[in-house]
Amino acid sequence: MDLSSMNASPVLADSSPINQTILGFHSSVFSRSIPKKKPAKLDDVRFNGWLDAMQSSSPPRKSMLKDIAIELASDDNDLVYYSWMLKYPSALKSFHHIITRAHKKKIVIFLDYDGTLSPIVDDPERAFMSIEMHSAVKDVAKYFPTAIISGRSRDKVYELVGLTELFYAGSHGMDIIFPAKDTILINHLNYIRSMDKQGKEVNLFQPAREFIPMINEVFRTLVEVTKDIPGAFVENHKFCTSVHYRNVDEKSWPMIAQRVHDVLKDYPRLTLTHGRKVLEVRPLIDWDKGKAVEFLLESLGLSNANDVLPIYIGDDRTDEDAFKVLREGNRGYGILVSSVPKKSKAFLSLRDTSEVKEFLKSLVRWKEQMLNVDS
């Protein structure tokens, strides 16, 4: 990526009207009356596009499968999963292949947080890493440059991870912090010199800074319009805001979508993406987790594909932008965390957070063995 070309604001010049495509179907669908008592059915064509998007971004847990009338025997589930793994092999089983490719290269680790390092839980405020995962991430960061790229605000994800030795990119990569000593590029319009909480000099990169007042305004409005929907929870991530519906009764999903849509139609410079049981409102700018990965690699002097092997582990749709960057540049490994078959741009897969932990520990063990051999 040519960073010099990014001195201009990354805001897209042609912002398509949000009400044309929001939630994956045409806005005219919303204008029809929504039956108040009759719950939406999965085979109801009016909601198919929306429910498909919701369900594909929120894969049901095994215990929920009966609720949506998918009754596959567990053996069948395993069969489907294992045949999917032919296309997305296990990163644990492919470990030898990865380290062979990493020979004489510097491995750089990128980690999503929710659903990758911490399990998805009902209360996003309580999405904590296990003690074992915390120490696995800490150990990995001893040997490899390691960045967390999350949809959460940078402050929040730092609070949850609590490791000063990592790089952090919050708000889907729209809020990046570097220790000043590690940064090789400082003459950039969107860089801000600052101090972190420990008083160390840092550089901030915030391509959507101008959107902060707008996001605050939308956040307050979304809190107001969803306050009577039991289980709805709105979170402000500074450069984006999200409406969680994981605790909302499925019968109320059309209502929550309608309310969010009605708010957003007044903000053509904002867009919406689907996370896992969350509607995410973001600035309509040409910036995503993939761009953040490229930017971090370049800013840290690690963009030479011949010397560097990036590994990105994530479970969300927003992580697909990063998988795509690695796949298209044939630069490293995107690893999708999923316990159900999903289409992805990743090369490899891990089933859950516990396999992520095993993978990180394997990297540490391998690196320590290599260091012992060398010494």
Nearest CA among 275, 189, 190, 195 for reference residue 240 = 275
Contacting range for Mg ion; rule: CB under 5 A; set: 5-13, 96-104, 106-114, 152-160: 106-114
H helices, E strands: number in the chain: 12, 13
Least separation in angstroms between residue 112's CB and Mg ion is 4
Residues 6+ apart with CB under 8 A from 220: none
Among 29, 114, 124, 350, interactor with Mg ion by CB under 5 A: 114
Instruction: Kindly identify the residues of this chain, within the stretch 115-134, that bind Mg ion according to CB under 5 A.
Output: 115
Least separation in angstroms between residue 151's CB and Mg ion is 7
Question: Is the CB of 148 or the CB of 300 nearer to Mg ion?
Answer: 148
Contact 85, 349 (CB under 8 A): yes
Contacting range for Mg ion; rule: CB under 5 A; set: 107-115, 159-167, 225-233, 257-265: 107-115
Query: For the chain, first and last CA: distance in Å?
Result: 37
Query: Which of the residues 112, 175, 315, 316 is marked catalytic?
Result: 112
What are the E-state strand segments in the chain? 106-111, 146-149, 167-170, 175-179, 191-195, 201-205, 233-236, 241-244, 270-275, 278-283, 308-314, 333-337, 348-350
Least separation in angstroms between residue 235's CB and Mg ion is 14
Rounded Cα distance between 342 and 114, Å, is: 17
Rounded Cα distance between 221 and 47, Å, is: 25
- DSSP structure class, residue 38: S
Least separation in angstroms between residue 200's CB and Mg ion is 28
Contacting range for Mg ion; rule: CB under 5 A; set: 236-244, 261-269, 316-324, 356-364: 316-324
Question: Is the CB of 118 or the CB of 203 nearer to Mg ion?
Answer: 118
Nearest CA among 118, 209, 199, 133 for reference residue 171 = 209
Rounded Cα distance between 352 and 130, Å, is: 13
Rounded Cα distance between 139 and 134, Å, is: 9
Rounded Cα distance between 115 and 121, Å, is: 9
Contacting range for Mg ion; rule: CB under 5 A; set: 77-85, 111-119, 155-163, 264-272: 111-119
SS3 333: strand
Least separation in angstroms between residue 120's CB and Mg ion is 8
280 scored as a contact of Mg ion (CB under 5 A): no
Among 235, 288, 315, 321, interactor with Mg ion by CB under 5 A: 315
Least separation in angstroms between residue 117's CB and Mg ion is 9
Contact 277, 245 (CB under 8 A): yes
Active site residue 112: yes
Question: Is the CB of 315 or the CB of 320 nearer to Mg ion?
Answer: 315
Question: Is the CB of 115 or the CB of 170 nearer to Mg ion?
Answer: 115
SS3 322: helix
Among 316, 320, 321, 355, interactor with Mg ion by CB under 5 A: 316
Question: Is the CB of 112 or the CB of 259 nearer to Mg ion?
Answer: 112
Contact 349, 337 (CB under 8 A): yes
Among 88, 112, 177, 357, interactor with Mg ion by CB under 5 A: 112
Question: Is the CB of 316 or the CB of 320 nearer to Mg ion?
Answer: 316
Contacting range for Mg ion; rule: CB under 5 A; set: 77-85, 182-190, 247-255, 315-323: 315-323
Instruction: Give contact residues for Mg ion (rule: CB under 5 A).
Output: 112, 114-115, 315-316
Q: What residues act catalytically?
A: 112
